Amino acid sequence: MTGLCTGCARTLAEIAAWGGLSAPEKARIVASLPHRTAKRAELHHTGELER
């Protein structure tokens, strides 16, 4: 498991804090999502990610 939401690729802490985050904090998280999604797909493809 990666600890990331399978829909949005954010952590539970990020999801919980989202409403109180500043625009730059949200932008930083959003900018990291493509990398997280790609890494999760790589782990799934190699069998390292259990569903």
Res 28: pLDDT: 97
Share of the chain above pLDDT 90, in %: 59
Asked if residue 51 has pLDDT above 60, the reply is no
Specify the length of the chain in residues: 51
Would you say residue 1 has pLDDT above 70? no
CA 29/CA 15 separation, integer angstroms: 10
In Å, how far are 4, 5, 22, 39 from 1, measured between CA atoms? 8, 10, 28, 12
**Does residue 44 contact residue 50 with C-beta atoms inside 8 Å?**
no
Q: What is the pTM of this model?
A: 0.77
pLDDT for position 17: 98
